[in-house]
Chain A
Amino acid sequence: MPSICLYFQVHQPLRVKKYRIFDIGKDHNYFNDQSFSNLNNKNILEKVANKAYLPANELLLSMLKKNKDFKISFSFSGIFLEQLKEFNPRLLKSFRDLVKTGKVEILSETYYHSLSFFYSLAEFESQVELHRKIIWDLFGKKPAVFRNTELAYNNDLAYWANQNGYKAILAEGWDTVLGWRSPNFVYEPNIGQVKNGKKKIKLLLKNYKLSDDIAFRFSEKRWKEWPLTAEKFASWINQINGSGEVVNLFMDYETFGEHQWKEHGIFDFLKALPDKLLENKDNNFVTPSETVEKYPARDIVDVPYIVTWADSERDLSAWTGNNIQKSALKNIYLLEKRVKEVNNKKILEDWRRLQTSDHFYYMCTKWFSDGDVHKYFNPYESPYDAFISYMNVLNDFKIRLTELNKRKPGVVRKSIN
């Protein structure tokens, strides 16, 4: 003890191109930026693939082959896998090679990396189903553990996941949720009585301190622990011995090579970490499914409100904090009924692509008042620019919907503002 559970999130959105009011009604391609800007999805994917995904995959593959006790888990957004199929088959193959080692668990999420659970349960369930399908098609796996977009979690989501047969669900090990308790144990969500005596789902909580030491602070020279070595990190894990059973290290996969650079030693760190950890015979690696089989739930954790893994607030404010975000979200989900009525594949796909959480994140303005402009990466010149392009696109989309509705006799149209 303890076990180490590594999970990496892999996602790239389809960013909306610069779309002006004059384009409404004329241009129905929203995601095909061809410029040299950061809105060119194909270019960005290639850049991140070369800098991060490909070298990290290569390294992990050799580590998994060499070290029989090393294991990892991934959660891929469907929209990411879809882009790999189209733009980067080589990267897709390298992920499949990793999965073929049999030591990689794949988690379940929404295909479109959306926040749909909080807006439309039916839509959310469709997206989870679509995701299960693409995972089966590409990897031949059926995920047994659920993680929601941005690790957004509450009791209701745990209840849903339990009803749908998941063994475990992931969430942020945030202090206000845990109180005096440690994230380094398996817990049970507070979902009340479960019908038919179904086995209750378990909750895995991210150790945000240790995860963020790698994901956020690794290259931070002002941090007192800089430089972070595998040896030092392993010693912190060893200190847990006895006061915890599993350390959940959850982070974006872009940590390796994109957020933290090769030049700063992130790959050397990753390469050295398993051996350093396994030097202590009490330590071992587990996947989320193995974790919940191996350890019992030690307590019930109640999360009546939404907790995410973002910012010091750990809530949805980075996506829903201001009026422009709220209005964009409201407008996209208002269209659900009309979209589903027209039964058009392209319409449905565009509508879903516009639900990806990143679109709303780019509209976040909450750091303006503290003057910390560079806190968030934003491919748009400003959050307002992100909003303007998004809303213009939505207006074009509504025109297409109206056109299709006209062609369908018997459908009653409602006007939407």
Chain B
Amino acid sequence: MKVLMVGWELPPLNSGGLGEACYGLAKALSKKGVSIDFVLPYNFNIDVDFMKVHYANDRTRPDKIMGPYLTYTKWMKAVKEGRASVFDYLSQVLEYAENIRNIATKVQADLVHMHDWLTFPAGLTAQEIIGKPLVAHVHATEFDRTAGMGINEAIYEIEKEGFKKSDRIIPVGGIVRKTITERYGINSNKIKVVYNGVENPDKPSIDPSLTNLKKLGYKIVLFLGRITLQKGPDYFVRAAKIVSQYCPKAVFVVTGSGDMQAQMICEATDLGVIDKFIFTGFLRGVEKNSIYQAADVYVMPSVSEPFGITALEAIKNRTPVVISKQSGVSEVLQSALKVDYWDVEELANKILAVLKYKSLPKDLKSGGVKELMNLTWDKSADDVLGVYQQLI
């Protein structure tokens, strides 16, 4: 089976989960004998051996390539500040659709598989040329990226067009599935949810960080993700206020960066808990794993979270998780404490319970690790293969 996969980014040059997910899925599919031609908009100089990577434009990756999480509002702001060109926002996406023609005419494929709106124009072009079935993978919709606050009509139309023309749509969770049917008017018959996975459930063997702090008896409560509205950093700060009242030795570590960082610092200051906060900035690789391992509990209070791979990363590092019920991962993960993101008291109650009752993190960890065995990319690839097989 040959698949033309249309992507936007791949690690290590990724800005978040989209690149990781494409990589994990493509690798697992290729292990199952699927031959993949993976297209990227620019030359990322990617070195992988399990699939053939094509660059729609062979010039090297421009510095100002749009990240998959950029919203129209943020881009406008960047344009005004001179950080982005007025032509970038949609032009890169449309340019990709032009540039992919060359590849599509040369490559043989049984189907075309595209990932999120950034790749939809390119995916549709490739599909027209190849004339084979089309699959749209949905890691997030415009409603998720903006948390419903001011969607961009042009992007909405691109998404809708992509959904309509696809033979199958693969959202990463039930919440995205619901958005696709309700907000885009797509029939649920052609939608099949496939959850993301982790590549390897084994605990990364590294030295955890913040050991001195822990030796002094401090408890570490971790927030890790982009500091944006979608991730609920404000709820985290308010929960931190309550937690620190009941557990004075709690320290709140924030890993990541984003447009709400200043607001987060202000709020923590107003609530009088800023001295309990540590901001590490964006971390990846070993450093990210070691911060997970240092944490006593990982908190993901997302307002909107199509999947939420960080919850599985935390468990992989043997850290118990408190996650928002409004996340895709909460649909598949049992060994987790779940809250409505807006219920700050309950969020605090559950964080405190993990810190207070020792048997609770113990069971959450061991149960979570057992569940990870069934939440691998290998399993996701089986589900995606099932979708492919319905089409060819």
Q: Which residue numbers of A lie inside 8 Å of B, CB to CB? A: 20-22, 322-324, 326-327, 365, 368-369, 371, 373, 381-382, 384-385, 387-388, 391-392
Besides A323-B359, A382-B338, A388-B349, 14 new A-B residue pairs in contact (Cβ under 8 A), listed by A number? A20-B349, A21-B348, A21-B352, A322-B363, A323-B363, A323-B366, A324-B357, A327-B357, A368-B335, A369-B367, A373-B334, A384-B337, A387-B359, A388-B360
Is the Cβ of B359 less than 8 Å from the Cβ of A326?
A: yes
Q: Which residues of A contact B359 (CB under 8 A)?
A: 323-324, 326-327, 387
Is the Cβ of A323 less than 8 Å from the Cβ of B350?
A: no
Residue of B nearest to A390 (CB): B357
From residue B370, how far is it (CB to closest CB) to chain A in Å? Answer: 5
Q: Which of B350, B363, B371 contacts A324 (CB 8 A)?
A: B363
Q: How far is the CA of A381 from the CA of B360 in the complex (A)?
A: 16
- The 8 A-B residue pairs whose C-beta atoms are closest, nearest first, are A327-B359, A323-B359, A368-B334, A388-B353, A20-B349, A369-B370, A323-B362, A323-B363
Is the Cβ of B353 less than 8 Å from the Cβ of A391?
A: yes
Is the Cβ of A21 less than 8 Å from the Cβ of B353?
A: yes
Q: How far is the CA of A22 from the CA of B246 in the complex (A)?
A: 9
From residue A267, how far is it (CB to closest CB) to chain B in Å? Answer: 36
Q: Which residues of A contact B199 (CB under 8 A)?
A: none
Q: How far is the CA of A374 from the CA of B207 in the complex (A)?
A: 39
Q: Is B64 an interface residue (CB 8 A)?
A: no
Is the Cβ of A365 less than 8 Å from the Cβ of B349?
A: no
Q: Is B287 an interface residue (CB 8 A)?
A: no
From residue A53, how far is it (CB to closest CB) to chain B in Å? Answer: 33
B315-359 vs A: 1/0 string, CB under 8 Å?
000000000000000000011011000000110111011001111
Q: How far is the CA of A327 from the CA of B374 in the complex (A)?
A: 28
Q: Which of B246, B337, B338, B366 contacts A21 (CB 8 A)?
A: B246
Q: Is B122 an interface residue (CB 8 A)?
A: no
Q: Which residues of B contact A21 (CB under 8 A)?
A: 246, 348-349, 352-353, 356
Q: Is B36 an interface residue (CB 8 A)?
A: no
Q: How far is the CA of A365 from the CA of B359 in the complex (A)?
A: 13
Residue of A nearest to B373 (CB): A369
From residue B235, how far is it (CB to closest CB) to chain A in Å? Answer: 17
Residue of A nearest to B332 (CB): A371
Residue of A nearest to B333 (CB): A368
Q: Is the interface of B mostly helix, strand, loop or mixed?
A: helix
26 contacts between A and B (CB under 8 A): A21-B246, A21-B349, A22-B246, A22-B349, A324-B357, A324-B360, A324-B363, A327-B357, A365-B335, A365-B367, A368-B335, A368-B370, A369-B367, A382-B334, A384-B337, A384-B353, A384-B360, A384-B363, A385-B337, A387-B357, A388-B337, A388-B357, A388-B360, A391-B353, A391-B356, A392-B353
Q: Which residue numbers of B lie inside 8 Å of A, CB to CB? A: 242, 246, 334-335, 337-338, 345-346, 348-350, 352-353, 356-360, 362-364, 366-367, 370-371, 374
Q: Which residues of B contact A368 (CB under 8 A)?
A: 334-335, 367, 370-371
From residue B246, how far is it (CB to closest CB) to chain A in Å? Answer: 6
Q: Which residues of B contact A371 (CB under 8 A)?
A: 374
From residue A369, how far is it (CB to closest CB) to chain B in Å? Answer: 5
Is the Cβ of B352 less than 8 Å from the Cβ of A381?
A: no
Q: How far is the CA of A118 from the CA of B367 in the complex (A)?
A: 27
Q: Which residues of B contact A324 (CB under 8 A)?
A: 357, 359-360, 363
Is the Cβ of A20 less than 8 Å from the Cβ of B345?
A: yes
Q: Which residues of B contact A373 (CB under 8 A)?
A: 334
Residue of B nearest to A381 (CB): B338
Of listed A21, A326, A368, A385, residue having the most chain B CB within 10 A: A21
Is the Cβ of A388 less than 8 Å from the Cβ of B363?
A: no
Q: Which residues of B contact A388 (CB under 8 A)?
A: 337, 349-350, 353, 357, 360
Q: Which residues of B contact A387 (CB under 8 A)?
A: 353, 357, 359-360
Is the Cβ of A20 less than 8 Å from the Cβ of B346?
A: yes
Q: How far is the CA of A382 from the CA of B337 in the complex (A)?
A: 8
Residue of A nearest to B247 (CB): A21
Is the Cβ of B334 less than 8 Å from the Cβ of A365?
A: yes
Of listed B350, B367, B374, residue having the most chain A CB within 10 A: B367
Q: How far is the CA of A371 from the CA of B371 in the complex (A)?
A: 9
Q: How far is the CA of A392 from the CA of B349 in the complex (A)?
A: 10
Q: How far is the CA of A368 from the CA of B332 in the complex (A)?
A: 10
Q: Which residues of B contact A385 (CB under 8 A)?
A: 337
Q: Which residues of A contact B246 (CB under 8 A)?
A: 21-22
Q: How far is the CA of A21 from the CA of B351 in the complex (A)?
A: 10
From residue A42, how far is it (CB to closest CB) to chain B in Å? Answer: 24
Q: How far is the CA of A322 from the CA of B350 in the complex (A)?
A: 19
Of listed B363, B364, B374, residue having the most chain A CB within 10 A: B363
Residue of B nearest to A322 (CB): B363
From residue A372, how far is it (CB to closest CB) to chain B in Å? Answer: 10
Question: Given A368-B335, A371-B374, A381-B338, A327–B358 Cβ distance below 8 Å?
Answer: yes
Residue of B nearest to A330 (CB): B359
From residue A361, how far is it (CB to closest CB) to chain B in Å? Answer: 15
Q: How far is the CA of A322 from the CA of B370 in the complex (A)?
A: 14
From residue B248, how far is it (CB to closest CB) to chain A in Å? Answer: 14
Q: Which residues of B contact A365 (CB under 8 A)?
A: 334-335, 363, 367
Q: How far is the CA of A199 from the CA of B349 in the complex (A)?
A: 56
From residue A327, how far is it (CB to closest CB) to chain B in Å? Answer: 4
From residue A330, how far is it (CB to closest CB) to chain B in Å? Answer: 9
Is the Cβ of A22 less than 8 Å from the Cβ of B345?
A: yes
From residue A22, how far is it (CB to closest CB) to chain B in Å? Answer: 7
Is the Cβ of B371 less than 8 Å from the Cβ of A369?
A: yes
Of listed B334, B346, B357, residue having the most chain A CB within 10 A: B357
Q: How far is the CA of A33 from the CA of B345 in the complex (A)?
A: 18
Q: Which residues of A contact B337 (CB under 8 A)?
A: 382, 384-385, 388
Q: How far is the CA of A204 from the CA of B335 in the complex (A)?
A: 40
Q: Which residues of A contact B353 (CB under 8 A)?
A: 21, 384, 387-388, 391-392
Q: How far is the CA of A324 from the CA of B345 in the complex (A)?
A: 22
Q: Which residues of A contact B367 (CB under 8 A)?
A: 322, 365, 368-369
Q: How far is the CA of A323 from the CA of B364 in the complex (A)?
A: 10
From residue B257, how far is it (CB to closest CB) to chain A in Å? Answer: 32
Q: Which residues of A contact B356 (CB under 8 A)?
A: 21, 391
Q: Which residues of B contact A20 (CB under 8 A)?
A: 345-346, 349
From residue A321, how far is it (CB to closest CB) to chain B in Å? Answer: 10
Of listed B359, B360, B366, B370, residue having the most chain A CB within 10 A: B359
Residue of B nearest to A20 (CB): B349
Residue of A nearest to B320 (CB): A384
